[in-house]
Amino acid sequence: MQQADVLAFPRRGYALPREAQYLEDTSVRRLVLEHYDQEHVAIRRYLSFLGVNAETGEEILQETFLKLHQHLLAGGDRSNLRAWLYRVAHNLARNEQIAFRTSRTGSLPDGAVSGDVPANAASVEEELLTAERTRLVREAMNQLSIAQKESLVLRAQGLKYREIAEILNLSVSTVAENIQRGLERLRDLV
């Protein structure tokens, strides 16, 4: 085998022939695309919750999946890629907010909660009641701590406590406590 036919992987400590490199890269792309199809809407929604505008959110989403591709090509851990994606998106969003000195996580964006309440009200009275419930939930969510809000939103996205703990860099027991206290506080306020 000639030197031109071998590409080195320094992190792994061995070399693969070009054909094997191509096959590995193809399987990595397929894996990235599968995760994109499954998670891009939920991650975009999560970024919106964090206060990231749509344009910046789209850039962060693209950067997140680019980092996933790089992570996989470098032989990174594949055990819990869903939590890995949320953690990367979370960190990129926080970095973006720090860079621009914005901290918009203190209040929910207008569309964050309203999309969760069904809009199939049959009368003006029902529409007003729905709007009032949405306002109450938004105000109640704004009174929660940032950790409680983030934990509740990630749980609502269907993530497990362990995955939320990885994303927010907290212990599983702290996540459980944040969710429990957040729900209790919401019940009291709404």
Range of the domain at 25: 1-106
Name the pairing type of β-strands 14-17 and 6-9.
antiparallel
Would you say residue 80 lies in a domain? yes
Q: What pLDDT does residue 78 have? A: 87
- Collect the ranges in the chain with pLDDT lower than 70: 1-24, 101-122
Would you say residue 82 lies in a domain? yes
Alpha-helical regions (H) of the chain: 18-49, 54-73, 81-99, 110-114, 124-142, 146-156, 161-168, 172-189
Would you say residue 149 lies in a domain? no
Q: Convert the pLDDT of each residue in 17-40 to its tens digit.
A: 455 455 567 888 889 899 999 999
Q: Record the pTM.
A: 0.61
Query: Amino acid letter at 171?
Result: S
From residue 6, how far is each of 24, 47, 62, 70 by CA, in Å? Answer: 14, 41, 30, 19
At 46, which CATH number?
1.10.1740.10
Would you say residue 170 lies in a domain? no
Q: What pLDDT does residue 173 have? A: 94
Would you say residue 140 lies in a domain? no
Would you say residue 17 lies in a domain? yes
**Residues 66/49, Cβ–Cβ less than 8 Å:** no
Would you say residue 115 lies in a domain? no
How many structural domains does the chain have?
1
Would you say residue 113 lies in a domain? no
